[in-house]
Structure 1
Amino acid sequence: MAEPLVSVREGKLLGSVKSDLNGKTFFSFQGIPYAKPPLGELRFKAPQPPEKWKGVRDATKEGSECYAKGISAYVGSEDCLVLNVFTREISGSTLKPVMFWIHGGEFTSSSGNSDLYGLEFLLTEDIVLVTFNYRLGPLGFLRLRDPSLGVPGNAGLKDMVMALKWVQRNIKQFSGDPNNVTIFGESAGGAAVHLLMLSPTAKGLFHKAISQSGCATNVWASCSKYTIHQLAENLGVYTNDEELLLKHLRNVSLEELFRASEKIPDHLMVGVFRPFGPVVEEPSDEEAFLSEDPSTIMKSGNYTKVPLIIGCCNREGMFVYSLCITGKTNKLLLDETVVPRSMNLRVGSDIYKRAVEEIKRFYFHNNENPLTDLDNIYRLYTDNAFQYEVYKTAKSHLDSSKTPIFFYNFFLDTELNFMKPLYGMNEPGVCHAEDIAYLFKSFFTPDIEPGSAELVGILRMVKLWANFAKYGNPTPTNDDPLLPVKWSPVTANSFQVLDIGEELKILPDHPERKAMEFWDRMHMIKPINFQL
């Protein structure tokens, strides 16, 4: 098959031909600029529209990752605002649903490249898939208070909006339907999906959403400190003048900038402040990605209302536990890993201490040595760092929107699950990020045997997500042997949950209902009149 050639608004692209899980071919276009390189004066700024090029651009190889700390070294570059498009057909007569993937990585690491997010699974479905890179850490989430400097924060989120605008302009050339775009992501990507729903700047750019293991109100999904001065001091610059600080930060090397940023504590724990991440922007001449607190926006109903799939893995907290025991935080079951910031209690106060005791009593039942109770440690960290806010988000949208909301619980544990082996864990349960192994092939993926639980899991997840992208309903028919259940949206009277394991099961209620009700009560605590 000849190498494909496509013309987009900015110029011509030469792609390549690849094969999916079933050996069928699809077309791949990689490293496509969706914004002007954010270099020089554009460092830390909102993205600018891409420039046109002459001739044919080689799109047969991936572009650079956005600069960040990799496993053992810094990787990527600042010229990284590129996306990839994968399609079974070019300029076809029938436009296909578009699935737009947002990678996770704490807003500080990773990329949309194929070493982690290979396309072989999803491209078995008749969709168009888009992956992309966005700026990370200080490059994507530095903020200044002086509105005249044009760095109010959220540049990495604004990159996402710019990539979605590129999709609206160009995706027809790849047989994609710009009027049927589903955004989906996991962890920080799941939180970003939710933030895009809440941002007025993304209105009209997508039509469905899937948020996996993350939402805008998770405590790790926002920047909670103003860090410009600490960052500058780590670089040996001592001034309160933001204009001078910005000038200096634009001129330092990327490695200097990131080494200085890493000296600012960022443990991802539920009670610890994060230095770089999404923020509520202060007023400026620039259109804000987010100008109000996410909870306020949800309550107001003033957001993009689209069909939504949302849920978690059943033991997300294994990931948090691993951070504790590896020395990155070394704070297992200390107060700040137990009480989430969202409770707004002053650390060390009497009411805070009493909240700690109530939480430990609920999860460990007066066990004198809770550090031996691993499963309940995992449950605690799952709920306070992930599950409760995801559940509360579904409930909040249910109150303010009439669009369908599908809730799931992922507990499929096979040889594809790659996080637990990395952490040396072998207890039952599915760790944070292990669901993505059933959507994307990666360097962790083992050989897939015909008829295996791994293959069935892949086919089911891909079918559920692709059905939703196509029809707004993950189980639209009753005659698909892969999907022998009818997954209905949650309602005010029935919080139905799809349990995704070796078998699909419909649960009449949240599997951790008692824990969700416990956290509801905890979040009603006020500094005065502490009662449960």
Structure 2
Amino acid sequence: MLPAIRSVILFMAICIACKASAQNNDPVVKTDKGYIRGIVENNIQVFKGIPYAAPPAGDLRFMPPATHQLWTDTLAATKFGPVATQYSGNKVIGSEDCLSLNLYTPKTDNHKRAVVVWIHGGSMTNGSGKGMNGHAFADHDDIITITINYRLGAFGFLYMGDVGKRYAQSGNCGVLDVIAALKWIKQNITSFGGDPNRVTIMGESAGAKLISAVMVSPLSKGLFQQYIAESGSVQCIRDTVTAKNARLRILNKMGLTALDVKKFLTLPADSIIKIQGMVCEGIGGNSFLGPVYDGATITGDAYKYAASGQMPKIKALIGTNEYEAAAFVGPNSDLKDINKTVFKPLFEDGAPMVYAAYQQQLKTDSPYAAEVKVLTQYMYQMHSYRFAKVLAQNNIPVWMYRFKYDNGKSFGARHGEELQYIWNINNPNTITDSAKKQLTINLHGAWVTFIKTGNPNTSSNPKWPEYNSNTRQVMLFDTTDSVTNLKEVYDDKSFPSQVFMLK
């Protein structure tokens, strides 16, 4: 044999041996559907793209998530699964086969670690579980971190309960997807070193709204013990009249009538999402689609359910940012016809009430400042405090926060700004700005402590009291954190529990 050929064969043998060795070191875990193989990243064990339900396509479109079939061979859980079908960058991406989760665990042992489940935001029309890095809580905090995909847009929230009993829960497919993922976690998390009785669900924006809908669904009982809602509450849940009229707008954009609704069952996914993208274009898309009071998944008014004592005593950490709406409206926007361009698309039938509040705010603020303040109140703050009040009155432990750090910018504490600090997107050890470094330590530390203990107070900062509507004590996160008693909490008694109404 020639020396050159001998060298090539030897090199190939070494490569094969190395690959086999690497695979032998990869973690393998048995789930209720079969064995899965993950990978080692940053010295922890990671499993990506684990299917928690059957692909919701074909006959399963607009249906509750179905049980995934068993698999015989070890399933490679080494790559993120497809994102849910969505409109992104003027094109449709993703797949209806999207129901997967990603799991980051320090080790697959029997330590019964706390578990946090991240539900992503994106107006319930965009985003995916891989948008947040689970290493943020798993690598150094000894917390199992799970991120999930759920059905988005029309496939997750198009109400068709009036079409037939088979589709009674179609408006809550996204809610049911989260519940299915939580059931998978409860069934399997022990094998990954987690405790099924120490599960926290966490979400921001649409993610916070979605987990709030999950929380007030009787179907979620016993699946989690704690709840972190950043900039979102039950304001996303709408009545069936609004849900049907939203569907009609999509149908009309397709050139269809209410009688053609069954065509949704067979139309290509791309066609549906393209039209949905047109309907949801602009600021109004923030609230156009969402969960529904369908009588099956969500059986009644969210506030009444929370106050009735039927809901489990879920410990809650809830908050908003000081100037949420500055992320959606700019200082140079045309405010001449603000009711038509901003309030009407966002609130529809509720727009006159918001416009009246805006007119009142103009007495003390500039037009832009009034716009930001009023939108922040009506889109986020009012609803978070309403829900916190009901929970606290029902003897459920609640801790409230307000994110105020503006990073030196006017109206800087905007929607989503807190995420970079909670998720350690910038490693504290690499941050040179002392204020940002301390803010990261304080925010991330409080979240870690809450996930692990059910109380956000840390040993170095034990001063965050539980919230009640009398003293209204909240933690302010700024260059330094401090507790304050809010003089008042804005609440327009005439404004309904749902942000988007379309009668």
TM (norm. structure 1) is: 0.80
Structure 1 contact 10–52 (Cα < 8 Å) conserved: yes
User: Corresponding residue for 2:155?
Assistant: 139
Structure 1 contact 266–275 (Cα < 8 Å) conserved: no
1:521 and 1:79 map into 2 onto residues whose CA distance is: 43
2:183 and 2:212 map into 1 onto residues whose CA distance is: 17
Instruction: Confirm or deny that 1:490 pairs with 2:488.
Output: no
AA partner of residue 292 (structure 2): V
User: Corresponding residue for 1:125?
Assistant: 141
User: Corresponding residue for 1:193?
Assistant: 211
Q: Residue 328 of structure 2: SS of its match in structure 1? A: helix
1:43-82 per-residue CA deviation (whole Å, 9 max, x = no partner) reads: 1111001221111111111111101012343221111100
User: Corresponding residue for 2:359?
Assistant: 360
Larger Rg: 2
- For residue 120 of structure 2, the aligned residue among 81, 96, 103 is 103
Alignment of structure 1 residues 48-447 onto 2, 5 Å: 48-92=66-110, 94-113=111-130, 116-123=131-138, 124-144=140-160, 145-152=162-169, 153-217=171-235, 224-226=242-244, 227-238=246-257, 240=259, 245-246=261-262, 248-265=263-280, 267=282, 269=284, 275-282=288-295, 288-322=296-330, 333-334=338-339, 337=342, 356-357=355-356, 359-361=358-360, 363-365=361-363, 370-371=366-367, 374-399=368-393, 401-414=394-407, 426-440=409-423
User: Corresponding residue for 2:12?
Assistant: none
1:462 and 1:446 map into 2 onto residues whose CA distance is: 10
Deviation at 1:411, TM superposition (A): 1.8
1:331 and 1:279 map into 2 onto residues whose CA distance is: 34
Q: Residue 452 of structure 2: SS of its match in structure 1? A: helix
AA partner of residue 38 (structure 2): G
AA partner of residue 506 (structure 1): V
1:221 and 1:69 map into 2 onto residues whose CA distance is: 25
Deviation at 1:309, TM superposition (A): 0.4
Q: Is the alpha carbon distance of 1:74 and 1:291 closer, same or farther for their aligned partners in structure 2, counting shifts above 3 Å?
A: same
Deviation at 1:342, TM superposition (A): 8.3
Structure 1 contact 314–430 (Cα < 8 Å) conserved: yes
AA partner of residue 157 (structure 2): F
2:75 and 2:252 map into 1 onto residues whose CA distance is: 42
TM (norm. structure 2) is: 0.84
Q: Which ranges of structure 2 fall in alignment gaps of 5 or more residues?
A: 1-21, 497-503
Alignment of structure 1 residues 18-37 onto 2, 5 Å: 18-19=41-42, 25-37=43-55
1:485 and 1:306 map into 2 onto residues whose CA distance is: 21
Q: Residue 400 of structure 2: SS of its match in structure 1? A: strand
AA partner of residue 300 (structure 1): S
Deviation at 1:180, TM superposition (A): 0.7
Q: Residue 279 of structure 2: SS of its match in structure 1? A: coil
Please provide the CA RMSD for this pair: 3.2
Deviation at 1:489, TM superposition (A): 0.3
Structure 1 contact 210–309 (Cα < 8 Å) conserved: yes
Structure 1 contact 224–275 (Cα < 8 Å) conserved: no
1:255-306 per-residue CA deviation (whole Å, 9 max, x = no partner) reads: 111122234356555xx99542111115xxxxx2112122332343432321
User: Corresponding residue for 1:474?
Assistant: 456
Q: Which ranges of structure 1 fall in alignment gaps of 5 or more residues?
A: 20-24, 283-287, 416-425, 525-532
1:365 and 1:69 map into 2 onto residues whose CA distance is: 40
User: Corresponding residue for 1:529?
Assistant: none
Structure 1 contact 266–273 (Cα < 8 Å) conserved: no
Q: Is the alpha carbon distance of 1:432 and 1:209 closer, same or farther for their aligned partners in structure 2, counting shifts above 3 Å?
A: same
2:418 and 2:241 map into 1 onto residues whose CA distance is: 26
Structure 2 contact 424–440 (Cα < 8 Å) conserved: no
Deviation at 1:471, TM superposition (A): 1.0
Deviation at 1:406, TM superposition (A): 0.1
Deviation at 1:41, TM superposition (A): 0.5
Structure 2 contact 34–74 (Cα < 8 Å) conserved: yes
Q: Residue 177 of structure 2: SS of its match in structure 1? A: helix
User: Corresponding residue for 2:430?
Assistant: 448
Deviation at 1:42, TM superposition (A): 0.5
2:344 and 2:163 map into 1 onto residues whose CA distance is: 33
1:208-229 per-residue CA deviation (whole Å, 9 max, x = no partner) reads: 1111000012589999341444
1:342-385 per-residue CA deviation (whole Å, 9 max, x = no partner) reads: 8976x67xxx6xx7445422x22266xx43xx334322221121
2:164 and 2:265 map into 1 onto residues whose CA distance is: 17
User: Corresponding residue for 1:13?
Assistant: 36
1:320 and 1:221 map into 2 onto residues whose CA distance is: 26
Instruction: Confirm or deny that 1:3 pairs with 2:26.
Output: yes
Q: Is the alpha carbon distance of 1:295 and 1:339 closer, same or farther for their aligned partners in structure 2, counting shifts above 3 Å?
A: farther
Structure 1 contact 224–274 (Cα < 8 Å) conserved: no
2:344 and 2:311 map into 1 onto residues whose CA distance is: 29
Higher helix share goes to which structure?
2
2:349 and 2:230 map into 1 onto residues whose CA distance is: 26
Q: Is the alpha carbon distance of 1:229 and 1:382 closer, same or farther for their aligned partners in structure 2, counting shifts above 3 Å?
A: closer
2:220 and 2:207 map into 1 onto residues whose CA distance is: 15
Deviation at 1:520, TM superposition (A): 4.0
1:32 and 1:342 map into 2 onto residues whose CA distance is: 37
Aligned length: 469
Q: Residue 323 of structure 2: SS of its match in structure 1? A: coil
Q: Is the alpha carbon distance of 1:34 and 1:219 closer, same or farther for their aligned partners in structure 2, counting shifts above 3 Å?
A: closer
2:137 and 2:405 map into 1 onto residues whose CA distance is: 18
User: Corresponding residue for 2:10?
Assistant: none
AA partner of residue 433 (structure 1): G
Q: Is the alpha carbon distance of 1:261 and 1:289 closer, same or farther for their aligned partners in structure 2, counting shifts above 3 Å?
A: same
1:313-364 per-residue CA deviation (whole Å, 9 max, x = no partner) reads: 1110112324x9779xx8863278459998976x67xxx6xx7445422x22
Q: Residue 84 of structure 1: SS of its match in structure 2? A: strand
Deviation at 1:522, TM superposition (A): 5.5
